[in-house]
Amino acid sequence: MLPTLRQLSYLKLLAEQGSFSKAAEAAHVTQPTLSAGIQELEKILGASVVDRARSGVILTPVGQEALARARTILNEAEELVEAARNAGQPLTGRFRLGVIPTIAPFLLPKALPLLRQRFPKLRLFLREDLTQRLVNALRAGHLDAALIALPYDVTGLAWAHVSDDELYAAFPANHRLAAEPRTRPSDLEQEDLILLEDGHCLREHALAACGLRPRKADGEEAFAATSLPTLVQMVGSGLGVTFLPGMAVDAGLAETAPISVRPIAAEDPRREIVVAWRAGSSRAADGKLLAETLKGA
């Protein structure tokens, strides 16, 4: 005998809500009904999935493992329903799209109106996050697709090309290198590099393209930023130099502070923007169509 989707759903709600009463309310059933479902699940698994405590319910190790698998199974079931309902109708219904912060504010303002126009039945749910968390969410089935930048480890994922995004060097407006038409990576070796915090793939893309490592004092970098707008303001204040993606430059970000932007004289100073999805996902056709649509944004 196998667990039912309803029992797995009860377990998921119980973990999210932290109590039987709240989980039952979220499931729109009585508390005895939900409790009976959990008890039946425990009989099938042959082990307890929850411990009851004064502070609420706590999942046992078996419960944690069951929850992880339940989420995947429930996501797959939702995808099945969505695929059946929207068969032959591309990009319709719910679509959960992740976007990294160094793409979202520059591409989405142009892309969203286009998507609404071409696919009026699409219900888009957006999540902005760092690449690693979006990739993990894709692999776990919590997202249908993600707009990310390569190179990156995309094991277990498939992807479609959207565009190539050139990387530029950015300096304070009065910096000596601002007088040069192009910037050689060797010119930056002795400069104070201001980069995004660890976890932003743009940081690694820029360093790899130029073959550089940030200089550190006492084992850590002097400055790091949490966003590209903050990065630009720091450079404009004369704290150092940085790298900016072409889409941010095209969107006017470099005009918000007194900085100069120059092309990089390196072999391949760019990142590749792609739409990625879980290999074998039923939303693969949607991911490819989304990538084709974004090319025109």
Range of the domain at 141: 91-297
CA distance 168 to 183: 9
Question: Residue 189: what pLDDT?
Answer: 83
Q: Which of 50, 66, 84 is the last residue of a domain?
A: 84
Domain boundary among 59, 84, 109: 84
Residues 119 and 166 in one domain: yes
SS (H, E, C) 165-231: EEEEEEEECCCHHHHCCCECHHHHCCCCECEECCCCHHHHHHHHHHCCCCCCECCECCCEECCHHHH
Domain check: are 246 and 112 in the same one?
Answer: yes
Domain stop point among 50, 84, 118: 84
The position carrying tokens 């609420």 is 56
Chunk the chain into consecutive blocks of 10 residues (it has 297) and report each block's average pLDDT, rounded to whole numbers: 92 91 93 94 93 80 92 82 69 90 93 92 92 92 93 92 94 91 88 84 85 61 80 92 93 94 90 94 89 88
Residue 29's CATH number: 1.10.10.10
> Does 163 lie in the same domain as 132?
yes
Q: Which amino acid is at 30?
A: T
Mark whether 275 and 218 lie in a shared domain: yes
pLDDT score recorded for residue 191: 85
What sign does the dihedral 92-97-101-102 (CA atoms) show?
Answer: negative
* pLDDT value of position 62: 93
Q: With beta carbons less than 8 A apart as the criterion, state whether 146 and 108 touch.
A: no
Pair (200, 265) in one structural domain: yes
Indicate the length of the chain as a whole number. 297
* pLDDT at residue 263, rounded to an integer: 94
pLDDT number for residue 58: 87
Kindly state whether residues 153 and 214 are assigned to the same domain: yes
> Do residues 167 and 148 both lie within one domain?
yes
Domain count, the chain: 2
Answer yes or no: do 44 and 124 share one domain: no
Same domain, 263 and 117: yes
Give 172: exposed, middle or buried? Use CB within 10 Å, 0-12, 13-18, 19+. Answer: buried
